[in-house]
Amino acid sequence: MTDTPDIQSYTVAASHHGDRLDRWVAATVSDLSRSYAQQLIADGHIVLNGVQVKPSMIVATGDTVQVTLPLPQPSDLVPEDLPLIIRYEDDDLLVVDKAAGMVVHPAPGHARGTLVNALLFHYPTLQIGSDLRPGIVHRLDRDTSGLLVVAKHDRAKAWLQTQQQAHTMDKIYLALIEGHFNEPTGVIDAPLDRHPTDRLRQAIVQDGRQARTHYRELERLGSYSLLEVRLETGRTHQIRVHFAHKHHPVASDPLYGRHRTAHPLGLTRQFLHAHSLSFNRLDGQRLVITSPLPPDLQTVLDALRLLYATSAAPPAGEQPWWATDL
């Protein structure tokens, strides 16, 4: 880890005359998202002609922009020697296969034992700014297992966040739901926001944030369906709320299920697993990482297959199965 900030200087070209500073930075400086550029400008790490200005400042031909990428700050987080399964790693990022029951980052009531605590033990040189989510680009619920990508430094985090915002990071889940949809594939498009009276829950809210979930039926197993689910957006509890909204909650979901105390074949958590994650590395190479079902979910699935005849999944075709829905 270097102890010298990364300082870069740029000159505004005529083709960008009249641009907002934050927009110009995002378009010019490699791997910086516009939101991260706004943060750096507000903190004084990006100056225009030697002067600290607002992100909305207009640039002109010949202006000089100096960008200083700050050093990581000391953190009060406690490293803990907790086991991690790493499915992929390079110099910029890693993909973790999170176990069910592990909280992603510290929060009230969960100061220790989180994925972040484990990351800081196994990767003490994570070069990420001082917050409670070093390197965390997206999250999974505590009792949802599967894949998470973690950035090793600020540029990688900005690069991955840009892909999330552009919906070019593909996240595929396996979910067992109650009941069956009439059509084997479909899209749930319903805005989400915090529940108006229950702070632990999310809900369908008319003026909430846009949320779209694509699904494909893989098998029918008695009164359950195994689905492959793709998130077009990544809202809190999105899959769980969307399927509950359609009266097909995720099996054994303790928060949104119709029968919250019902545990099919001994399942004690929601049957939801982040199975596949696809995104571009910083060098542009496309990665596709997969994770098998963990033993508790595989045991339930195997038992259901023994009990019920399964139906074949619809053919995916040459394109991704969700391509015609976008």
pLDDT in tens, 240-294: 999 999 999 999 998 898 765 556 668 889 999 999 999 999 999 999 999 999 9
The answer to whether residue 91 is catalytic is no
Reported confidence tier of residue 75, pLDDT bands at 50, 70, 90: low
What pLDDT is stored for residue 13 in this prediction? 84
Q: pLDDT at residue 195 above 70?
A: yes
Q: What is the mean pLDDT of residues 163-183?
A: 94
Q: pLDDT at residue 128 above 80?
A: no
What pLDDT is stored for residue 323 in this prediction? 44
- Residue partners of 105: CB distance under 8 A and separation at least 6: 114, 115, 116, 132, 133, 136, 139
Per the document, the length of the chain is 326
Q: pLDDT at residue 50 above 60?
A: yes
Cα dihedral angle (202, 204, 206, 212), rounded to 10 degrees? Answer: 100
DSSP of 174-225, one letter per residue?
A: EEEEES--SSSEEEEE--EEE-SS-TT-EEE-TTSB--EEEEEEEEEETTEE
Q: pLDDT at residue 28 above 80?
A: no
Q: Which two tokens stand for residue 82?
A: 């907790």
Reported confidence tier of residue 27, pLDDT bands at 50, 70, 90: confident
Q: pLDDT at residue 31 above 70?
A: no
Q: Which of 106-115, 225-234, 238-247, 293-302 has the lowest mean pLDDT?
A: 106-115
Reported confidence tier of residue 172, pLDDT bands at 50, 70, 90: very high
Q: pLDDT at residue 318 above 70?
A: no
What pLDDT is stored for residue 262 in this prediction? 58
What pLDDT is stored for residue 30 in this prediction? 57
Q: Indicate the CATH number for domain 170-315.
A: 3.30.2350.10
Q: pLDDT at residue 74 above 60?
A: no
Q: Indicate the CATH number for domain 6-69.
A: 3.10.290.10
pLDDT over 90, % of the chain: 55
pLDDT over 70, % of the chain: 83
Q: Where in the chain is the domain with CATH 3.10.290.10?
A: 6-69
Q: What is the mean pLDDT of residues 136-147?
A: 92
Q: Does the predicted TM-score (pTM) go above 0.75?
A: no
Q: pLDDT at residue 315 above 80?
A: no
Q: pLDDT at residue 108 above 90?
A: no
Cα–Cα distance, 321 to 23 (Å, whole number) = 34
Q: Indicate the CATH number for domain 86-165.
A: 3.30.2350.10
Q: Which of 65-79, 147-161, 235-249, 280-294 has the lowest mean pLDDT?
A: 65-79
Cα–Cα distance, 264 to 39 (Å, whole number) = 47
Q: Where in the chain is the domain with CATH 3.30.2350.10?
A: 86-165, 170-315
Instruction: List the catalytic residue out of 141, 143, 154, 253.
Output: 141
Q: Which of 25-29, 102-106, 128-132, 294-298 has the lowest mean pLDDT?
A: 128-132
Q: Contact 221/303 with Cβ under 8 angstroms?
A: no
Residue type, 293: L
Cα–Cα distance, 84 to 81 (Å, whole number) = 9
What pLDDT is stored for residue 193 in this prediction? 87
Reported confidence tier of residue 314, pLDDT bands at 50, 70, 90: very low
Rank 70-79, 85-94, 116-125, 134-143 by mean pLDDT and report only the highest: 85-94
Q: What is the mean pLDDT of residues 75-103?
A: 91
Reported confidence tier of residue 131, pLDDT bands at 50, 70, 90: low
- How large is the greatest C-alpha to C-alpha distance in the chain, in angstroms? 72
Reported confidence tier of residue 312, pLDDT bands at 50, 70, 90: very low
User: How do 272-280 and 145-151 pair as beta strands?
Assistant: parallel
Element (H, E) at 306: helix 295-307
